[in-house]
Amino acid sequence: MNSEEEFFDAEAGTDSDNSSAEFVDTNQRSLDMTLTEPASAAKVESSLQENGVKKPRQCLPAPMFSRNNFSIWSILKKCIGLELSKITMPIVFNEPLSFLQRITEYMEHTYLINKACSCADPLQRMQAVAAFAVSAVASQWERTGKPFNPLLGETYELVREDLGFRFVSEQVSHHPPISAFYSEGLNKDYIFHGSIYPKLKFWGKSVEAEPKGAITLELLKHKEAYTWTNPTCCVHNVIIGKLWIEQYGTVEIINHSTGDKCILNFKPCGLFGKELHRVEGYIQDKNKKKLCVIYGKWTECLWSVDPTTYDSYRKSEKKGGGEQRKSKQNEPSVNSEEDEEDDMPEVQETVQVVPGSKLLWRIVSRPPNSSQMYNFTNFAVALNELDKELEATLAPTDCRLRPDIRGMENGDLDQASKEKERLEEKQRASRRERAQSNEQWRTRWFTQGTNPYTRTSDWIYTGGYFDRKFTDCPDIY
């Protein structure tokens, strides 16, 4: 193992089930079957090969590194309240993906966008969009590794004909770090785009990530546009104890065409952990009439039900649960100030389904060896896959070509550390050269502008990436 400095982020030191489940796609059901029935999986693979469609890989080249022998308290203890982007972090706490690849995971449950496109009823469209917004953060469950910070000018593309979309992203700013992305349906039925500025802070025992920036989904057939922001993500026990994640905050999804809104409350775990992972909210029309209630867990599933039915069920539940709640008042807090770590509450029982509810979304099972692959989903496992045929078509700035990420994925932590340091020094040198010549950095595929729906600053895709004219791309690797 190399010296401690080789594990640090050098850029931080720079200057600056029933008929109600109509929303569940048949492809998802097929995937669930392949994970539980080996014989079925073999048949599916054979079929894919016969049809000439390449199947994404299902495992990483090497298992993840153990983090048990590494302590970052000496680094973080002086940085309470500071932005994490300015703090050096050991590379062993990374996962072998760039943040550009991490945001591509929004597209894992694209069938929900397709469902929204096919719905004639605006309420059902909003339900599908709400399910998509919740599903977009589901991949973060138990994902405690830090993605690599993208280099300025770094890009990532993903074309999934089987899922019906293509996606491109670019790191458009380094200080502050801003990632812009654009995706479209191959049938030209939707556009999904946004720019993300993850503001990270360290609070003693936890790291909090507040996702600045708007996300926009346009359903072209219906001439509708939806915008929202993601909830705050918090990683507990970064110093001592088992790492665990919660999402909290209010997500407001606005249909700018109809005035409908979906307000979702991602609940913090609470005193006894009863609310861990829970999501609850409602859809209202432009006159603020409540149309339906949405509830579930972002780690598991999401349901919708009529508001009157929901309220009646909750009232009856409270009448029958008084004794249990009263007995819990004498239980000790799991988060007392004397604790050395923030104990993760035991995961509560599965979501209690209100009779008459409709299933909007259910998470897909992860690979059996996910814990040895940074807790990646099947979708995430394939994001950094690279073969010669694909390599020949990629932009030279694509993060699949980053040697530090590739080294870590292949199990060579020393090489990954050296390459990371080299790339970041190269980035600093380029910045110094631009400063001396008063040259401004020029983005390639996005330009700064105004989101037409939120009227806030955004990065707009200028087009042309998939024409594959990459002669003017910067040399960043």
DSSP state of 113: H
Which contacts of 64-67 are long-range, i.e. CB under 8 A and separated by 24 or more positions?
A: 64/95, 64/145, 64/372, 64/373, 64/374, 65/92, 65/411, 65/413, 67/92, 67/93
What are the backbone angles phi and psi of residue 302, rounded to the nearest 5°? -140, 135
**For residues 423 and 431, is the Cβ–Cβ distance under 8 A?**
no
pLDDT in tens, 111-165: 999 999 999 999 999 999 999 999 999 988 888 788 999 999 999 999 999 999 9
Contact (CB, 8 A) for 407 and 6: no
Q: In which domain, by residue range, is 441 found?
A: 4-267+361-467
Q: Is residue 435 part of a domain?
A: yes
Cα–Cα distance, 299 to 362 (Å, whole number): 9
Task: Using the CB atoms, write b or e for 155-194: b if 16+ within 10 Å.
Answer: bbbbebeebbbbbbbbbbbbeebbbbbbbbbeeebbbbbb
What pLDDT is attached to residue 349? 59
Amino acid 173 reads: S
Residue 282 lies in a domain: no
Q: Report how far residue 121's alpha carbon sits from residue 345's, in angstroms, rounded to the nearest whole number.
A: 40
pLDDT of the residue at 440: 92
Judged by phi (left if over 0) then psi (alpha if -120 to 50, else beta), residue 99 lies in alpha
Length of the chain: 477
Q: How many domains is the chain built from?
A: 1
Q: Which of 50-54, 87-91, 397-401 has the highest mean pLDDT?
A: 397-401
Q: Are strands 358-362 and 178-185 parallel, antiparallel or unpaired?
A: unpaired
What confidence score (pLDDT) does residue 242 get? Answer: 76
Phi, psi of 94 (to 5 degrees): -85, 170
Mode of pairing for the β-strands spanning 244-255 and 261-266: antiparallel
CA distance 174 to 177: 4
Residue type, 269: C
CA angle (212 as vertex; 72, 294 as ends), nearest 5 = 105
User: Is residue 44 domain-resident?
Assistant: yes
Domain membership flag for residue 179: yes
Helix, strand or coil for residue 407? helix
Please give the pLDDT value at position 276.
85
* DSSP-assigned letter for residue 30: H
Asked if residue 233 belongs to a domain, the reply is yes
What H or E segment, with its residue span, contains residue 404?
helix 403-409
For residue 298, pLDDT over 50 is answered with yes
pLDDT at 376 over 80: yes
DSSP one-letter code for 58: S
Query: What is the average pLDDT across 329-346?
Result: 47
Task: Give dist(CA 378, CA 385) in Å, integer.
Answer: 12
pLDDT attached to residue 153: 97
Q: Compute CA 426 distance to the chain's CA centroid, rounded to the nearest angstrom.
A: 29
Please spell the DSSP secondary structure of 354-407, one letter per residue: PTT-EEEEEPPPPPTTGGGTTT--HHHHTTT---HHHHTTS-TTBGGG-HHHHH
Which residues have CB under 8 Å from 62's CB, separation 6+?
Answer: 409, 410, 411
Tell me whether residue 279 is in a domain.
no
- Residue 287 counted as domain residue: no
Q: Flag the least confident range among 13-22, 119-128, 249-258, 310-319.
A: 13-22
Q: Does residue 472 sit within a domain?
A: no
Return the pLDDT at 293: 98
Rounded CA-CA distance 437/57 in Å is 45
| Per-residue pLDDT reduced to its tens digit, 397-427 | 999 999 999 999 999 999 999 999 999 999 9
User: Which of 105-114, 134-143, 378-387 has the least mean pLDDT?
Assistant: 134-143
d(CA 112, CA 127): 9
Angstrom distance (rounded) from CA 377 to CA 382: 9
Least confident of 26-30, 90-94, 105-109, 364-368: 26-30
